[in-house]
Amino acid sequence: MLKQILEELKPTQTQLVAVSKTKPNEAILNLYDQGQRAFGENYVQELVEKQATLPNDILWHFIGHLQSNKVKYIAPFVTMIHSVDSFKLLQEINKQAAKHNRVIKVLLQFHIAEEESKFGFDTEGVQQVVQELAQAHLNHVEICGVMGMATFTDDKTQVRREFQHLKSIFDNLKYNYFAQNPSFTQISMGMSDDYKMAIEEGSTMVRIGSLLFGKRY
């Protein structure tokens, strides 16, 4: 499955984050041995335990909701945090990264789902953050783009519309605020059921779990 997915991502050079939440180390090592290095986790404690025992050259992506008081546990090693949804969280990531002399890549998470329950900025919230950012000098975070999750639904046109929305948010931010920032390049969208559509709509990074590892129970 890994090979097939990588073939599909090749033409657009879309990156793959293998989402290994709830899956055992052996399953991760199986993909690792096939060359996969980027893995995504949702829970701080689970990530910390896995990181301590798995190979050091794994690039860990944190993709779940993150509370400020837990940033310190993952700051020593995490590569990218996809789920930044407040300025306060961004400041905390910067502070903890500084302690370890690191720069942590982050994505701004947007609420694109038309359903209610998902975390993330709306377009107004982010304007404020971007203005705060311009004044604060956060040297230990690198803002690399945006992330979003579509509604969990069989309605493909709705999912496509939500992906298009995230792409337009990205384009807007890039044009208005990050034009001088060469790091602002990533659109993290697309999961097992909808990654092909996400790529059609401009995804640069897909987060695939169950298709690689089997269903979660």
* Binding residues vs ligand PLP (CB under 6 A): 19, 21, 42, 63-64, 149, 191-193, 207-211
Q: Is 7 exposed, middle or buried (0-12, 13-18, 19+ CB in 10 A)?
A: exposed
Integer CA distances (angstroms), 39 to 18, 20, 174, 200, 208, in order:
5, 6, 26, 23, 9
Q: Is 203 helix (H, G, I), strand (E, B) or coil?
A: coil
- How near is the Cβ of 149 to ligand PLP at its closest, in Å? 6
- How near is the Cβ of 134 to ligand PLP at its closest, in Å? 28
Nearer to ligand PLP, 138 or 199 (CB): 199
Distance CA(93)–CA(102), nearest Å, equals 10
- How near is the Cβ of 207 to ligand PLP at its closest, in Å? 4
- How near is the Cβ of 201 to ligand PLP at its closest, in Å? 16
Burial 84-95 (b: 16+ CB within 10 A, else e): bbbbebbbbbbb
Nearer to ligand PLP, 122 or 152 (CB): 152
Nearer to ligand PLP, 8 or 193 (CB): 193
Nearer to ligand PLP, 131 or 210 (CB): 210
Distance CA(60)–CA(74), nearest Å, equals 9
